[in-house]
Amino acid sequence: MWTAKWILDAYEEGDQTVRWEMYMAYRDLRLYFDEIEARPEEAGEPRAVWVDEKPAGARWNLCARLVKG
């Protein structure tokens, strides 16, 4: 299947709303869109912070004990 490169480029450069609209509009290209989403992020883009920050105050640990922070 031939895919227009400009569609994939627009998807890759677009923000979340543009990506959603293109994902819904171009059903046949969803596999390509999923591949773009699965790529590792560029070094210049900010990454989501997972567990690096400790929450302030008390929290529960994995053993179900209250821990003061």
pLDDT at 40: 81
Give per-residue pLDDT as tens, 7-57. 999 999 999 999 999 999 999 999 999 999 998 865 455 555 555 566 566
Task: Give me the pLDDT at residue 67, please.
Answer: 52
Torsion on CA atoms 12, 13, 18, 20, rounded to nearest 10: 20
pLDDT of residue 45: 53
CA dihedral of 15, 21, 24, 28, whole degrees rounded to 10: -70
Chain-centre distance for alpha carbon 26: 19
| pTM strictly above 0.75 | no
pLDDT for res 4? 83
